Structure 1
Amino acid sequence: MPEKEIHNVVIHPRLVVRKFLARPQHEGLGAIVRRSIGRFELKYFDPFLVLDEFSVTAPAGFPDHPHRGFETVTYMLQGSVTHEDFEGHKGTIGAGDLQWMTAGRGIVHSEMPAAQGTQKGLQLWINLSSKNKMIEPNYQEVSSKGIPEASKDGVRVKVIAGEALGAKSPIYTRTPTMYLDFTLKPKAYVQQPIPSSWNAFVYILEGEGVFGNSKATSTTEHNLLLLGYGDGLEVWNKSGKPLRFILVGGEPLSEPVVQFGPFVMNTQEEIDQTIDDFDNYSNGFEKARHWRSEAGISLGF
């Protein structure tokens, strides 16, 4: 068998080791999020800091706020959201679109609804290594049409980061990451390789599925599943309705994590310095002194 095929076969399937139901909570300005990673029971899953399934209806949203030391990945499921930041980036992403923002040494931005009704999506925070925490901010925006897709035997996948079913994402990830959006038709089955040294999880968006072991109990939407050791994942849709979930994996950084709200560094001293930098508009936050987003101005921020 060719070497490439060997790497695409799951020999040691990962089992589900923990399960969390993401319950609604308030965040931002009147927004509702279902937080799974980043809450009391699961503060950090190296290299992932936060996973929110958000729901916002204007005038609710996430007005001007800062970040340092990590990346935010926003993936829209319904409606649209407009992003603005003090580096001059402004863009609106709709259902199926992606924004991959590197906060690096510092960014201030806003994320506000751009359409009538309720806007829904996922936001994932990915930690940066100590060598990358103070890099210049960066912004990648990809439309739904620009995200590679593949289909086979009742399985469809959108490859946001990484590779699946022969499709590969163009997104560059400083912290090695895979981010896959799977939809399985009723009775479909899929296996997806995952590097053995990576941490990985599943978040179910729609329907119910059996993960890791064909005899396991099925799990329904809004649940996060932490996966144990292995070289891949097996999933079965034994129901009569479609199953949609994301599979996310990343290479652990294995570094100390000190977090203060939207700032994530390696030491308390670095956090203290970050707060001082933000308060004094210095060392990466200079542009925050005179910048306000259009959405923020309209709301009086």
Structure 2
Amino acid sequence: MSEDRKEPFKRNVKDSWYVQYEEMNFPAIQKGWVLPVDRWEDFDPFILMAEDWFKKGTFPDHPHRGFQTVTYVIDGRLEHIDNGGGRDILEPGDVQYMNAGWAARHAEDGVEDDIAHTLQLWLNLPQDKKETKTIYQNIYSEDTPVVNFDGGSVKVYSGKVAGVEGPMDSIVPITLSEVNLAEGNEYTLDLPEDHNAFLYVLSGEVEVGEEKHNLAKHGVATLTYQDHGNPDASSELTLKANRRRTRVLVYSGKPIKENVVPYGPFVMNSMDEIKKAFQDFQQGKFGPPAI
């Protein structure tokens, strides 16, 4: 007699909204909060995500400590410079992963006269990993595995999705996938059932989940998940395109469930740790400028 097989958890939309944008002072151009800055308890392990349009000179040399960033280039070119000698240019479809760890110091800029258009996600680190070494990893679009299916494709930047492993080597494992769908086509994305997750619609229009929640371009949705679920079990997220060229980014990660204190360029567990980070930076412990 065969054992009963548990049906995968079916994801639905928990909350949704559309990004609101504001004009900025040059050389910054426009900003919108995909994940607003004051809801990190809902988004855990994610803290915030900003969508920015900017030119060279907007994000010069600056420090970070206590978290990770995942930067997706939508359009234009992004130059990364760090004080460990790293320098590279990222183009549309490329992603940069940074583990700030104990002391990152870098710059992120548009190239020449380009307007860089990026999504930057701040991803928390658990307390016991906030002083890990600083790591930068560039993930180029052409080196990222793509799984094609009838009516679309899924590109996997991080985690194991659609039977392939993304190249991102995150300190705290996450999944990041880009799903492309032609109008009328559907795809079911597998995600670990205990991962908190959200999606962002880059273009087109999509029905999300079993309840067919409709979202168009600039739409954001947080998704239901199994808070105490099995880390080895998968859940299913169904996406169906209602317009041509629908493109959706899906992020997931396991909640850390620790106190979070984001302040300026640092994310720590207490204000005392924030003050120590500022003190260490002022005392030169983050190293020389990134120029």
TM-score under structure 1 normalisation? 0.86
Aligned residues: 278
CA distance change for structure 1 residues 209 and 105 in 2, over 3 Å: closer, same or farther? same
Who is 2:49 aligned against? 51
1:144 and 2:141 aligned = yes
Q: Is the contact between residue 99 and residue 171 of structure 2 (CA under 8 Å) also seen in structure 1?
A: no
Who is 1:228 aligned against? 224
Measure, in 2, the Cα distance between the counterparts of 1:141 and 1:27: 29
Q: Is the contact between residue 80 and residue 109 of structure 2 (CA under 8 Å) also seen in structure 1?
A: yes
1:266 and 2:266 aligned = no
Q: How does 1:9-48 map to 2 (within 5 A)?
A: 11-25=8-22, 26=24, 29-40=27-38, 42-44=39-41, 45-48=43-46
Who is 1:100 aligned against? 97
Measure, in 1, the Cα distance between the counterparts of 2:112 and 2:140: 17
CA distance change for structure 1 residues 28 and 109 in 2, over 3 Å: closer, same or farther? farther
Measure, in 1, the Cα distance between the counterparts of 2:254 and 2:220: 19
CA distance change for structure 1 residues 59 and 143 in 2, over 3 Å: closer, same or farther? closer
SS in 2 for 1:229: coil
Q: How does 1:203-282 map to 2 (within 5 A)?
A: 203-213=200-210, 216-229=212-225, 231-237=235-241, 239-282=242-285
Who is 2:77 aligned against? 80
Deviations 1:223-282 (A, max 9, x none): 110001252211111x24121010100011111111112100111211111111112223
Deviations 1:143-189 (A, max 9, x none): 21111111101121110101222222122121120000111111110
Shift of 1:141: 1.0
Q: How does 1:56-205 map to 2 (within 5 A)?
A: 56=54, 58-205=55-202
Q: Which amino acid aligns with 1:228?
A: T
Measure, in 1, the Cα distance between the counterparts of 2:194 and 2:213: 26
CA distance change for structure 1 residues 28 and 248 in 2, over 3 Å: closer, same or farther? farther
Who is 1:297 aligned against? none
SS in 1 for 2:192: coil
Q: Is the contact between residue 29 and residue 62 of structure 1 (CA under 8 Å) also seen in structure 2?
A: no
Q: Which 4+ runs in 1 deviate beyond 3 A? A: 25-29
Measure, in 2, the Cα distance between the counterparts of 1:261 and 1:67: 9
Identity %: 30
TM-score under structure 2 normalisation? 0.89
Measure, in 2, the Cα distance between the counterparts of 1:141 and 1:31: 25
CA distance change for structure 1 residues 128 and 240 in 2, over 3 Å: closer, same or farther? closer
Q: Is the contact between residue 22 and residue 224 of structure 1 (CA under 8 Å) also seen in structure 2?
A: yes
Gap runs ≥5 in structure 2? 227-234
Measure, in 2, the Cα distance between the counterparts of 1:64 and 1:115: 17
CA distance change for structure 1 residues 176 and 124 in 2, over 3 Å: closer, same or farther? same
Measure, in 2, the Cα distance between the counterparts of 1:292 and 1:54: 21
